[in-house]
Amino acid sequence: MASAPQLATRASRRPLWRRYLELTKPKVVALISFTAVVGTLLASPGLPPLEPLLIGNLGIALAAACAATINHVLDARIDAQMSRTRARPLPTGQISERAAISFAALLGLAAMTLLAFLVNLLTAVLTFGSLIGYAVVYTVWLKRATSQNIVIGGAAGAAPPVLGWTAVTGHVDPNALLLFLIIFVWTPPHFWALAIARRDDYARAGIPMLPVTHGVEFTRLQVLLYTVLLVVVTLLPYLTRMSGLVYLSAALVLDAGFLYYALILKISARAELPMRVFRFSVRYLMWLFAALLIDHYLHV
């Protein structure tokens, strides 16, 4: 494992733009943006107007990047203690705390300006609430207060498809809430798989993640139970006639895959399994939302 000086030396070789890009957690923002775009497209029978599609999703992405940057600032001391995060820009001194705060403020201001003035006020308000929910409520309070942090805090991460939907319609639709529910139930098994893999990191940093407070075996069981619940929830778009057989077929295949991984994780202690489940869960969500989109346009 590289020492702190070695990490700092390696980090100093990175271009400045890459250091700032890393602050935004680009892979997370990409997944958030994808679900928001799907929400935008599902809200309209055909193609939605360009303003909500382009400007709305740009604003949502900028807000997600702002929240991620604030998370870096507030978690800098914790990140320095964890092998997974100790090479991030703030722990290694690549970027100062003041510069990161200024960058977050710029991203947030740009996001709120675009959404409030060029999309609609409801989307701006809901996006701001989601930003605060993740960057402040989850990071400052829930993450450090309870082992159910990711369950409660998952509401902020589940909001993007609702935001994309409201960017088009100007109101919160029941179908948008179904998309919210899918991501909300998906989040615990997704994140707890990672938490199992990084249990020692979280324990060292004093973060009460479920594997730390209740043990790995209990967490494996919770991953399985939430995956069963997720299977039920992912059937709702078909049962409510929001989507058709194309989506249902894809959902059943993906659900079978997730259940398989959750079962194997429950009965096997192989060290590589938690990260395999975590990586599959990301692909699962992407393909599930892609199936929603394909089904939508096949029925237009």
Reported confidence tier of residue 4, pLDDT bands at 50, 70, 90: very low
Which pLDDT belongs to residue 8? 47
Same domain, residue pair 88 and 227: no
pLDDT of residue 13: 66
- Residues 168 and 44: beta-carbon distance below 8 Å: yes
Q: Which of 140, 171, 202 is the last residue of a domain?
A: 171
Is pLDDT above 50 for 250? yes
Q: Which of 113, 136, 171 is the last residue of a domain?
A: 171
Question: Is the same domain home to 110 and 189?
Answer: no
Q: CA-CA distance, 271 to 267, in Å (whole number)?
A: 12
| Confidence tier at 6 by pLDDT (50, 70, 90) | very low
Q: What is the dihedral of CA 222, 228, 233, 237, to 10 degrees?
A: 150
What pLDDT, in 10s, does the model give residues 48-59? Answer: 999 999 999 999
* CB of 173 closer than 8 Å to CB of 43: yes
Q: Do 107 and 235 belong to one domain?
A: no
Cα–chain center distance at 190:
10
Number of domains in the chain: 2
CB atoms within 10 A of CB 144: 15
| Gap between the Cα atoms of 32 and 159, Å rounded | 9
Q: What is the pLDDT of residues 158-194, one digit of tens each?
A: 999 999 999 999 999 999 999 999 999 999 999 999 9
156 lies in the same domain as 191: no
Is residue 96's pLDDT more than 70? yes
- Among 166, 107, 176, CA closest to 135: 107
The last residue of a domain, from among 155, 171, 187: 171
Distance CA 30, CA 50 (A): 20
Q: Are residues 103 and 182 in the same domain?
A: no
Beta carbons of 79 and 86 less than 8 angstroms apart: yes
Domain region containing 39: 1-171
Q: What is the pLDDT of residue 164?
A: 98
Give percent of the chain above pLDDT 70.
95
* Shared domain check, 267 and 151: no
CA distance 134 to 132: 5
pLDDT range class, residue 245, cuts 50, 70, 90: very high
Q: Say if residue 182 is in the same domain as residue 274.
A: yes
Residue 83's pLDDT is 87
Span 16-66, pLDDT tens digits: 889 999 999 999 999 999 999 999 999 998 889 999 999 999 999 999 999
Tell me the backbone φ, ψ of residue 75, rounded to 5 degrees: -105, 15
Contact assessment for residue 79 and residue 88, using Cβ atoms and an 8 Å cutoff = yes
Both 101 and 185 in one domain: the answer is: no
Same domain, 125 and 229: no
> What is residue 299's predicted lDDT score, i.e. its pLDDT?
76
Q: What is the pLDDT of residue 248?
A: 98
* pLDDT the model gives residue 116: 97
Q: Residue 74: which of 92, 90, 58 has the closest Cα? A: 90
Q: Is the pTM for the entire model greater than 0.85? A: yes
Residues 81 and 206 placed together within one structural domain of the fold: no
CATH number at residue 113: 1.10.357.140
pLDDT at 114 over 70: yes
Q: Do 163 and 186 share a structural domain?
A: no
136's tokens: 């402040």
Within this chain, do residues 151 and 178 fall inside the same structural domain, yes or no? no
